Amino acid sequence: MSKHAARREPAAPARLASEGFPYLRGALAAFLSVVFGLVAVSTVPALLHWRTTVVMSGSMEPRIRPGDVVAAAPVAADALRPGEVVLVRDRSRDDHLLLHRMVGRTSDGSIITRGDANAQEDSTHVAPADVVGLPRLRIPLVGLPAMWVRDGHPVRAGGTLGALAAALLVVLTAPRVEGRHRRAEVRTPVPVASLQDMLAS
Protein backbone atom coordinates (compact mmCIF):
# COMPACT_ATOMS: atom_id res chain seq x y z
CA MET A 1 0.00 0.00 0.00
CA SER A 2 1.38 3.37 -0.95
CA LYS A 3 1.88 5.97 1.73
CA HIS A 4 2.26 9.61 0.91
CA ALA A 5 3.72 12.23 3.24
CA ALA A 6 1.06 14.80 4.08
CA ARG A 7 1.98 18.33 3.13
CA ARG A 8 0.97 20.94 5.67
CA GLU A 9 -0.60 24.04 4.16
CA PRO A 10 0.24 27.35 5.86
CA ALA A 11 -2.47 28.85 8.01
CA ALA A 12 -4.74 31.31 6.21
CA PRO A 13 -3.58 34.45 8.13
CA ALA A 14 0.07 33.57 7.53
CA ARG A 15 -0.59 32.91 3.85
CA LEU A 16 -2.42 36.21 3.44
CA ALA A 17 0.38 38.06 5.20
CA SER A 18 2.98 36.40 2.98
CA GLU A 19 1.04 37.21 -0.18
CA GLY A 20 0.32 40.80 0.87
CA PHE A 21 3.81 41.70 2.06
CA PRO A 22 5.28 42.40 -1.41
CA TYR A 23 2.49 44.92 -2.03
CA LEU A 24 3.14 46.60 1.33
CA ARG A 25 6.84 46.74 0.65
CA GLY A 26 6.23 48.18 -2.81
CA ALA A 27 3.85 50.80 -1.41
CA LEU A 28 6.38 51.84 1.25
CA ALA A 29 9.15 52.03 -1.33
CA ALA A 30 7.02 54.22 -3.60
CA PHE A 31 6.06 56.49 -0.69
CA LEU A 32 9.67 56.88 0.45
CA SER A 33 10.76 57.59 -3.13
CA VAL A 34 8.29 60.46 -3.30
CA VAL A 35 9.29 61.86 0.11
CA PHE A 36 13.05 61.69 -0.45
CA GLY A 37 12.58 62.94 -4.00
CA LEU A 38 10.79 66.03 -2.73
CA VAL A 39 13.48 66.61 -0.11
CA ALA A 40 16.18 66.28 -2.77
CA VAL A 41 14.37 68.70 -5.06
CA SER A 42 14.12 71.22 -2.21
CA THR A 43 17.93 71.25 -1.87
CA VAL A 44 18.64 71.82 -5.57
CA PRO A 45 17.78 75.57 -5.54
CA ALA A 46 20.70 76.21 -3.18
CA LEU A 47 23.03 75.16 -5.99
CA LEU A 48 21.45 77.87 -8.16
CA HIS A 49 21.82 80.47 -5.39
CA TRP A 50 18.07 80.62 -4.94
CA ARG A 51 16.59 81.39 -1.55
CA THR A 52 14.39 78.72 0.04
CA THR A 53 11.94 79.23 2.87
CA VAL A 54 9.25 77.26 4.67
CA VAL A 55 5.78 78.81 4.52
CA MET A 56 4.65 79.24 8.12
CA SER A 57 1.20 80.83 7.74
CA GLY A 58 -1.93 80.47 5.67
CA SER A 59 -1.93 84.01 4.28
CA MET A 60 -1.38 82.71 0.73
CA GLU A 61 -3.91 79.87 0.80
CA PRO A 62 -5.25 78.05 -1.10
CA ARG A 63 -2.42 78.07 -3.64
CA ILE A 64 0.42 78.08 -1.12
CA ARG A 65 -0.11 76.27 2.19
CA PRO A 66 1.71 76.12 5.54
CA GLY A 67 4.52 73.59 5.39
CA ASP A 68 5.28 74.17 1.71
CA VAL A 69 8.87 74.97 0.77
CA VAL A 70 9.23 77.80 -1.74
CA ALA A 71 12.39 78.56 -3.71
CA ALA A 72 12.84 82.09 -5.06
CA ALA A 73 15.24 83.21 -7.77
CA PRO A 74 16.94 86.61 -7.46
CA VAL A 75 15.10 89.43 -9.22
CA ALA A 76 15.50 93.18 -9.58
CA ALA A 77 12.80 95.12 -7.75
CA ASP A 78 12.05 97.29 -10.79
CA ALA A 79 11.34 94.15 -12.85
CA LEU A 80 8.41 93.13 -10.65
CA ARG A 81 4.87 93.59 -11.91
CA PRO A 82 1.57 93.73 -9.99
CA GLY A 83 0.06 90.28 -9.63
CA GLU A 84 3.38 88.49 -9.11
CA VAL A 85 4.12 86.67 -5.86
CA VAL A 86 7.31 87.98 -4.30
CA LEU A 87 9.58 86.94 -1.43
CA VAL A 88 10.70 89.92 0.65
CA ARG A 89 12.27 90.72 4.01
CA ASP A 90 9.64 91.42 6.62
CA ARG A 91 10.73 94.62 8.39
CA SER A 92 7.92 94.26 10.94
CA ARG A 93 9.62 91.11 12.30
CA ASP A 94 13.36 90.69 12.57
CA ASP A 95 14.95 87.86 10.55
CA HIS A 96 11.65 86.92 8.91
CA LEU A 97 10.69 86.61 5.26
CA LEU A 98 7.30 87.38 3.78
CA LEU A 99 5.76 85.67 0.77
CA HIS A 100 2.90 87.80 -0.56
CA ARG A 101 1.52 89.05 -3.84
CA MET A 102 2.51 92.43 -5.23
CA VAL A 103 -0.56 94.59 -5.79
CA GLY A 104 1.02 97.97 -6.62
CA ARG A 105 3.68 100.59 -5.96
CA THR A 106 3.83 103.77 -3.98
CA SER A 107 5.05 107.08 -5.36
CA ASP A 108 8.51 106.51 -3.86
CA GLY A 109 8.87 103.11 -5.54
CA SER A 110 8.06 100.93 -2.53
CA ILE A 111 6.10 97.75 -3.22
CA ILE A 112 2.60 97.19 -1.88
CA THR A 113 1.82 93.56 -1.01
CA ARG A 114 -1.11 91.50 0.22
CA GLY A 115 -1.69 87.86 1.08
CA ASP A 116 -4.19 86.07 -1.14
CA ALA A 117 -6.17 85.03 1.94
CA ASN A 118 -6.10 88.54 3.45
CA ALA A 119 -8.78 91.14 2.90
CA GLN A 120 -6.45 94.13 3.33
CA GLU A 121 -3.08 95.18 1.99
CA ASP A 122 -0.02 94.82 4.23
CA SER A 123 0.46 97.88 6.40
CA THR A 124 4.25 97.87 5.88
CA HIS A 125 5.42 98.60 2.35
CA VAL A 126 8.49 96.90 0.92
CA ALA A 127 11.56 98.90 -0.02
CA PRO A 128 13.27 97.80 -3.27
CA ALA A 129 16.33 96.74 -1.27
CA ASP A 130 14.21 94.27 0.70
CA VAL A 131 13.15 92.23 -2.33
CA VAL A 132 14.66 88.74 -2.00
CA GLY A 133 13.36 86.98 -5.08
CA LEU A 134 10.61 85.73 -7.33
CA PRO A 135 9.26 82.25 -6.41
CA ARG A 136 10.03 79.67 -9.09
CA LEU A 137 9.44 76.38 -7.30
CA ARG A 138 7.05 75.09 -4.65
CA ILE A 139 7.60 71.76 -2.89
CA PRO A 140 4.43 70.85 -1.00
CA LEU A 141 4.47 69.94 2.71
CA VAL A 142 8.19 69.12 2.95
CA GLY A 143 8.64 71.83 5.58
CA LEU A 144 5.96 70.54 7.96
CA PRO A 145 8.46 69.13 10.52
CA ALA A 146 10.18 72.53 10.75
CA MET A 147 6.82 74.23 11.22
CA TRP A 148 5.81 71.77 13.96
CA VAL A 149 9.07 72.39 15.84
CA ARG A 150 8.52 76.16 15.64
CA ASP A 151 4.96 75.78 16.91
CA GLY A 152 6.06 73.72 19.91
CA HIS A 153 5.18 70.22 18.62
CA PRO A 154 8.56 68.44 18.50
CA VAL A 155 6.93 65.07 19.28
CA ARG A 156 4.84 65.32 16.12
CA ALA A 157 7.92 66.13 14.06
CA GLY A 158 9.93 63.36 15.72
CA GLY A 159 7.10 60.87 15.19
CA THR A 160 6.95 61.68 11.50
CA LEU A 161 10.70 61.26 11.07
CA GLY A 162 10.58 58.05 13.12
CA ALA A 163 7.82 56.62 10.92
CA LEU A 164 9.88 57.43 7.81
CA ALA A 165 12.91 55.73 9.36
CA ALA A 166 10.84 52.63 10.21
CA ALA A 167 9.44 52.45 6.69
CA LEU A 168 12.95 52.75 5.26
CA LEU A 169 14.14 49.97 7.57
CA VAL A 170 11.35 47.66 6.37
CA VAL A 171 12.15 48.32 2.72
CA LEU A 172 15.91 47.81 3.14
CA THR A 173 16.05 44.85 5.52
CA ALA A 174 12.92 42.76 4.99
CA PRO A 175 13.50 39.49 3.08
CA ARG A 176 12.27 39.37 -0.46
CA VAL A 177 9.29 37.17 -1.25
CA GLU A 178 9.32 35.38 -4.59
CA GLY A 179 6.66 36.36 -7.09
CA ARG A 180 3.34 34.56 -6.91
CA HIS A 181 3.31 33.89 -10.65
CA ARG A 182 6.47 31.82 -10.68
CA ARG A 183 5.74 28.34 -11.98
CA ALA A 184 5.82 25.89 -9.10
CA GLU A 185 8.22 23.01 -9.32
CA VAL A 186 6.33 19.77 -9.91
CA ARG A 187 7.41 16.87 -7.73
CA THR A 188 6.02 13.40 -8.17
CA PRO A 189 5.74 11.63 -4.81
CA VAL A 190 7.54 8.31 -4.61
CA PRO A 191 5.46 5.49 -3.03
CA VAL A 192 7.06 4.18 0.14
CA ALA A 193 6.55 0.51 -0.88
CA SER A 194 8.35 0.97 -4.20
CA LEU A 195 11.26 2.71 -2.44
CA GLN A 196 11.60 -0.24 -0.03
CA ASP A 197 11.65 -2.68 -2.95
CA MET A 198 14.42 -0.67 -4.57
CA LEU A 199 16.51 -0.71 -1.39
CA ALA A 200 16.01 -4.48 -0.93
CA SER A 201 17.03 -5.36 -4.46
Sequence spans of domains, the chain: 42-159
User: According to the model, what pLDDT value does residue 140 have?
Assistant: 86
Q: How far is CA 90 from the centre of its chain?
A: 28
- Rounded Cα distance, 130 and 81, in Å: 16
Write down the CATH superfamily of domain 42-159. Umud Fragment, subunit A (2.10.109.10)
User: According to the model, what pLDDT value does residue 17 have?
Assistant: 47
User: According to the model, what pLDDT value does residue 92 have?
Assistant: 82
Residue range 163-200, pLDDT digits in tens: 666 666 655 665 555 545 445 455 555 444 443 454 44
Residue range 1-43, pLDDT digits in tens: 545 555 555 554 544 445 555 666 666 666 666 666 666 666 6
Contacts 24+ apart (CB under 8 A), 181-186: none
Residue 77 DSSP symbol:
G
Confidence of residue 159 (pLDDT cuts 50, 70, 90): low
- Rounded Cα distance, 113 and 130, in Å: 13
User: According to the model, what pLDDT value does residue 31 have?
Assistant: 61
- Rounded Cα distance, 67 and 118, in Å: 18
